[in-house]
C-alpha cells in the first residue's frame, strides 16, 4: 500500500525519468512539463497503488496515441478531459482513478491533468513501466479474455483536423481505429480506454512504475549539476544498465507511417531499429538488446535522453541498455503473440530473442 502526494518538484523528475524509461518513445519533454504544470494549477493529485482503492473500483487507462514526430499534432487539456467524459457517458458510471498506458516524457504524467480536474487519484499501476508501440501492449492483458469488448474514446487536433470518437470492438480493431484517428487529427490524440477494476490493475499492471520514473528523475536532475557523465552514471546505477556505445550519429532514417515513427539509427559501430521506441540494437550483425529491453540514446554532453524523433545526424550520442529484468513490465510484455507485429514493422527477428522457448511468460 502506498500514497504519495505529487508536487511541483515531481513534474520535471517524472518527465525526465519517464523519458529515460520511454526507450525512444513516450512523447515530448515540453508536452510532459506543460501537462504536469496544468495539473498542479488545480488540486495536485495523489499517486496511489491500486490496493488503496476498493477492489471493484473502476480504473481507466489514459494515453497519448500517435507519432511523436508528426508536425501537425495538437492535444490540449480539454481533449484529455473530454475523452474521459465521453467514456464515462458510454459506460454510465464514474471512474475512481486513472492509470497511464506507459512511461515516457509525456506518458508518465498522463492522467495527472484528468486526476486534478476530476478529483481522483493517479493509480501507480501503468500498463507498462516502459514505452511500447502498440495499443494492445498497453491493455493490461485484456486481449486474453474471451469475447472481451474494448471501449475507447479519442480526442485531438484543431480546426478542420479536430477528431472526437468513441469506438467499441476487439482490442486489435479499436487500437487500429484509434491509431487512424490520430493520423486524421494531425498525429496525436488523447485517449481514455478499457475500464477495469482496481484489483485487475493490481494483478496485471506494472505496479510502482510511475514511482520508479519519478525517483529516477530526481536522481538524474541532482546529478545534472556535475555534467553528462554523472547523469548517465546515476541513471544506469539506479536502473542496473550499461553503456554500449558512444559517438556521432552517422545515419538516421525516420518516416512517419500509419501513426508510427519508424526507421533506424547508426551510432559509432552499432545500429538500432525503432518503431516509435527502439526495438533492436546490434553491433556488426550481433544482437545486443531486443525490445522490451530498454535501449536509449542520450546526449553525451548533457547526459539527458533523446527520443527517436529528436535524433539527428552529427549529434554526439551515448547508447545505453537496461535489461528487461530490471524494468517494471505489465501483462502486455509477456505475450509472444503481441511481438510478431514488431517483426513486420522493423523487419528484424524479435520473438526468438524474447521468447526463446516459444511459450508465453504469462
Q: Taking Cα atoms as reference points, which of 333, 334, 272 lies closest to residue 307?
A: 272
- Residue 68 is predicted with a pLDDT of 65
% residues pLDDT > 70 (the chain): 98
Residue 276 has pLDDT above 80, yes or no: yes
The pLDDT tens digits of the residues spanning 106-165 come to 999 999 999 999 999 999 999 999 999 998 899 999 999 988 899 999 999 999 999 999
Query: Would you place residue 362 in the very low, low, confident or very high pLDDT band (cuts 50, 70, 90)?
Result: very low
Query: Would you place residue 358 in the very low, low, confident or very high pLDDT band (cuts 50, 70, 90)?
Result: low
% residues pLDDT > 90 (the chain): 87
Query: Would you place residue 361 in the very low, low, confident or very high pLDDT band (cuts 50, 70, 90)?
Result: very low
Predicted TM-score of the model (pTM): 0.92
The phi and psi torsions of 195 (rounded to 5 degrees) equal -65, 135
Residue 359 has pLDDT above 60, yes or no: no
Q: Is 224 exposed, middle or buried (0-12, 13-18, 19+ CB in 10 A)?
A: middle
Q: Are 105 and 123 in contact (CB under 8 A)?
A: no
Annotated domain spans of the chain: 3-209
Can you name the residues that pair with 247 across neighbouring β-strands? 317
Residue 9 has pLDDT above 70, yes or no: yes
Average confidence score pLDDT of the chain: 94
Does the domain at residues 3-209 carry the CATH identifier 3.90.1150.10?
A: no
Amino acid at each position: 500500500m502506498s500514497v504519495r502526494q505529487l508536487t511541483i518538484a515531481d513534474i520535471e523528475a517524472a518527465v525526465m525519468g519517464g523519458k529515460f524509461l520511454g526507450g525512444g518513445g513516450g512523447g515530448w519533454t515540453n508536452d510532459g512539463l506543460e501537462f504536469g504544470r496544468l495539473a498542479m494549477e488545480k488540486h495536485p493529485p495523489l499517486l496511489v497503488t491500486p490496493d488503496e482503492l476498493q477492489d471493484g473500483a473502476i480504473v481507466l487507462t489514459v494515453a497519448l496515441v500517435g507519432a511523436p514526430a508528426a508536425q501537425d499534432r495538437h492535444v490540449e487539456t480539454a481533449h484529455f478531459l473530454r475523452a474521459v467524459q465521453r467514456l464515462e457517458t458510454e459506460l454510465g458510471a464514474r471512474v475512481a482513478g486513472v492509470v497511464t498506458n506507459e512511461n515516457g516524457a509525456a506518458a508518465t504524467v498522463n492522467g495527472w491533468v484528468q486526476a486534478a480536474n476530476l478529483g481522483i487519484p493517479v493509480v501507480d499501476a501503468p500498463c507498462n513501466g516502459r514505452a511500447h508501440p502498440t495499443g494492445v501492449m498497453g491493455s493490461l492483458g485484456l486481449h486474453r479474455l474471451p469475447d472481451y469488448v474494448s471501449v475507447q474514446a479519442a480526442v485531438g487536433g484543431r480546426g478542420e483536423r479536430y477528431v472526437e470518437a468513441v469506438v467499441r470492438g476487439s482490442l486489435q480493431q479499436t487500437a487500429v481505429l484509434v491509431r487512424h484517428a490520430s493520423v486524421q487529427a494531425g498525429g496525436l490524440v488523447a485517449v481514455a480506454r478499457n475500464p477495469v477494476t482496481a484489483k485487475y490493475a493490481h494483478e496485471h499492471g506494472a505496479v510502482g512504475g510511475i514511482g520508479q520514473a519519478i525517483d529516477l528523475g530526481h536522481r538524474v536532475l541532482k546529478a545534472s549539476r556535475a555534467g553528462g557523465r554523472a547523469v548517465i552514471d546515476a541513471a544506469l546505477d539506479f536502473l542496473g544498465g550499461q553503456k554500449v556505445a558512444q559517438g556521432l550519429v552517422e545515419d538516421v532514417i525516420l518516416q512517419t507511417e500509419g501513426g508510427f515513427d519508424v526507421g533506424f539509427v547508426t551510432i559509432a559501430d552499432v545500429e538500432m531499429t525503432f518503431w516509435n521506441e527502439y526495438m533492436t540494437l546490434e553491433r556488426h550483425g550481433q544482437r545486443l538488446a531486443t525490445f522490451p529491453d530498454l535501449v536509449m540514446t542520450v546526449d553525451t554532453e548533457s547526459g539527458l535522453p533523446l527520443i527517436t524523433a529528436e535524433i539527428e545526424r552529427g549529434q554526439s550520442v551515448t547508447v545505453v541498455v537496461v535489461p528487461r529484468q530490471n524494468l517494471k513490465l505489465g501483462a502486455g510484455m509477456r505475450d509472444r503473440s503481441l511481438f510478431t507485429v514488431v517483426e513486420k514493422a522493423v523487419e528484424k527477428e524479435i520473438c526468438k530473442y524474447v521468447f526463446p522457448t516459444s511459450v508465453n511468460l504469462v
